Amino acid sequence: MMSGKMKNSGIEWIGEIPEDWEVIRLKYSIKNIADKISLKTYNNQELLMYIGLEHVEQQTGRLIENYQPIYDFNGDTISFQKGDVLFGKLRPYLVKCLLADCNGKCSSEFFVLRSEHNILPTYLRLIMLSKGFIEYVDSSTFGVKMPRAEWGFVKNVFIPLPSLPTQQCIADYLDQKCAEINRIIAAKQKQNELLREYKQSIIYEAVTKGLDKNVKYKDSGIEWIGDIPEDWEVIRLKYLCKIIKTGTTPSTQATQYFDGSLNWFTPADFSEGFELSDASRKLDYIAVEDSEVPLFSAGAIMIVGIGATMGKIGYLIDEGSCNQQITGMVIKNKYDSKGIMYYLYATSDCIRNMANYTTLPILNNQILSNVMCVTPSKKEHSQIVCYLDQKCGEIDRIIKSNDDMITKLKEYRQSVIYEAVTGKIEV
């Protein structure tokens, strides 16, 4: 459905296109709909489904899997119709783009675009999902914290435009191709979800029941733990620790504290595994000398105490520090630090439930200090740690392999979309 000969489009992000295709500015193919619905004008005469940026998947052009229709959103919104394309103007690189399958209302962080006679909504959506288009639009955004695309720029972006039958062929091809890719991605994600559940279950079993199943058990007195080996100890976390301390952030105006060799961890540094070895940001040891940040020794446990990743656990490979979202714990020598870390990970759901809930859930040091722990002898703990290191290492390698494959599949999906909407592959 496209010619074999190519021509230079004259547009950098598009490159070559079939010689019978056009290149036109976006504004000549669509209308930007900005019909706002406010509390003053909306009086429940018609219930309209609401869609926000958070309800749209990145890169796929689909609603999130668990989206439940919302009809009672009370802020200012923009109306849309079935067949309109909703394009997220906030941080365009997040690639939030949706083809509406019903009438509704959406966040004002969307452009609501209605196709004219020369472009199909299905093809328009694919253009706006393509990597080249997104990168070009993103290059125009402004704002450090909340970069947004401006309509004055977006409407003048050049897009490749084949005939309507070719647009339909491209849309049909990509619907099928992307569906295949999405199924593989979903299967890999599901496998990782099950692997993480399995990982937590084997850790929980090992740190609460031990490796020897022939021992006698006793009631731990902890509701969510139940029975434990009778020679194990039940003790509050504060009695296991030499130090429990929350990290800090030096003044950003004091440039002498930054860009040194001291690892300074934030929640973003926590990954699939537990090892914390290379922070994305470094401090100079002057920050420690000036008491701007605490210093934790190798083997210290780090736990995120606030925000969306609250309860995430890590283990320092070398000495380091952390910001105020993280609490560091140095374990007494008579106990196995990594064993305690595994215990806190296994019971993290219960620990998170202890958090103080205000605007943000917070695990403060008082709450953490009073967490009840169960622990065997240091020798037995070391055996448990060796067992878990091996088992978790195997699981983490599979998860990482799946994650790498998911990344490659997403890149391939982006590549296929771009190649198809610019006519570089036959469909």
Q: Which of 106, 128, 161 is the last residue of a domain?
A: 161
Parent domain of 239: 233-375
Question: Which residues are 264's β-sheet partners?
Answer: 281, 321
Q: How many residues does the chain have?
A: 427
Whether 141 and 238 map to the same domain: the answer is: no
Q: Does some domain include residue 301?
A: yes
Q: Does some domain include residue 419?
A: no
Whether 142 and 240 map to the same domain: the answer is: no
Q: How many helices (H) and strands (E) does the chain have?
A: 9, 26
Distance CA 410, CA 377 (A): 47
Distance CA 15, CA 159 (A): 11
Which among 61, 111, 103, 64 has a CA at the least distance from the CA of 86? Answer: 111
Domain count, the chain: 2
Whether 144 and 44 map to the same domain: the answer is: yes
Distance CA 108, CA 233 (A): 57
Q: Does some domain include residue 420?
A: no
Q: Does some domain include residue 225?
A: no
Q: Does some domain include residue 88?
A: yes
pLDDT tens digits for the chain (427 residues)? 555 799 999 999 999 999 999 999 999 999 998 766 654 444 444 567 899 999 999 889 899 888 887 776 667 788 899 999 999 998 877 889 999 999 999 998 999 999 989 999 999 999 999 999 999 998 887 766 678 889 999 999 999 999 999 999 999 999 999 999 999 999 999 999 999 999 999 999 999 999 998 999 999 999 889 999 999 999 999 999 999 999 999 988 899 999 999 999 999 999 888 999 999 999 999 999 999 999 999 999 999 998 878 889 999 999 999 999 999 999 999 999 999 999 999 998 888 888 876 667 788 889 999 999 999 999 999 999 999 999 999 999 999 999 999 999 999 999 999 999 999 998 8
Residues 6+ apart with CB under 8 A from 324: 246, 247, 248, 249
409-to-94, 196, 199, 255 alpha-carbon distances in Å: 17, 21, 25, 41
Query: Quick one: pLDDT at residue 144?
Result: 60
Contact in structure between 357 and 377 (CB atoms under 8 Å) = no
User: What are the DSSP E strand ranges found in 135-181?
Assistant: 158-161
Q: pTM of this prediction?
A: 0.82
Whether 157 and 245 map to the same domain: the answer is: no
Q: Does some domain include residue 169?
A: no
Q: What is the DSSP letter of 130?
A: S
90 phi/psi in degrees, rounded to 5: -85, 125
Could you give the angle at the alpha carbon of 420 between the alpha carbons of 418 and 421, nearest 5°? 70
Q: Which of 130, 161, 192 is the last residue of a domain?
A: 161
DSSP codes, 254-304: -GGGEEEEEEEE-GGG--SSSEE---SEEE-THHHHTTSS--B-TT-EEEE
253: its two tokens = 């105006």
Long-range CB contact pairs, 276-284, < 8 A, 24+: 276/302, 276/314, 276/315, 276/316, 276/317, 276/320, 277/317, 277/318, 279/320, 282/258, 283/250, 283/257, 283/258, 283/321, 284/256, 284/257, 284/258, 284/259, 284/260
Whether 343 and 244 map to the same domain: the answer is: yes
Q: Which of 161, 177, 204 is the last residue of a domain?
A: 161
Q: Does some domain include residue 278?
A: yes
Whether 129 and 47 map to the same domain: the answer is: yes
Q: Does some domain include residue 180?
A: no
Query: Quick one: pLDDT at residue 31?
Result: 92
Q: Tell me the three state secondary structure of residue 173.
A: helix
Sheet containing strand 321-322, strands side by side: 281-283, 258-265, 321-322
CATH number at residue 27: 3.90.220.20
Query: Quick one: pLDDT at residue 42?
Result: 47
Which among 274, 315, 272, 314 has a CA at the least distance from the CA of 401? Answer: 272
